[in-house]
Structure 1
């Protein structure tokens, strides 16, 4: 059986290449709406971040998403992103890789 190529993306927070499944995409569209993109297919400029809640807090303090997306990211979005990442990490620990 032929081995499948694993898509890799650069993690904005750790600056390292990781498998796409282990990251979550944050996207900004033309109307400057920022959202979490679990499918990875929404149109707009995207940035990949790791599923580590402590790294999300670090990104908020340093303004890493602001620089990457080119706009001020509201505090409410960071809270939404933190809860999403925390939930996904818990799911991964419970159910393993799916």
Structure 2
């Protein structure tokens, strides 16, 4: 039987490679809208972050999400990420 490959993505907070399903995806749509993608299937450029407050803080302070998505991330997106991390715990 063939072993299924697990897709790995890098967290923008801790910069560690982790399985895609363990991370939250932030996506910039082709129109330029930035939003949290819980399904992981929205069209556009994606960036990933762990379900951990420390990683979110590191990514926020270093502005890595802004750099990876090449646009300004609004505070609403950060609030939604915080809520999602709270709900997951």
Q: Give me the TM-score of the superposition, normalised by structure 2.
A: 0.87
Partner of 1:96: none
Give the Cα separation in 1 of the matches to 2:7 and 2:66.
25
- 1:26-65 equivalences in 2 (<5 Å): 26-65=26-65
- Gaps in structure 2 of 5+ consecutive residues: none
- Higher Cα Rg: structure 1 or 2? 1
Structure number with the bigger relative contact order (C-alpha 8 A, sep ≥ 6) is 2
Give the Cα separation in 2 of the matches to 1:76 and 1:38.
15
Question: Runs of 4+ in structure 1 displaced over 4 angstroms?
Answer: none
User: How many matched pairs?
Assistant: 89
Over the aligned positions, Cα root-mean-square deviation in angstroms equals 1.5
Q: Give me the TM-score of the superposition, normalised by structure 1.
A: 0.80
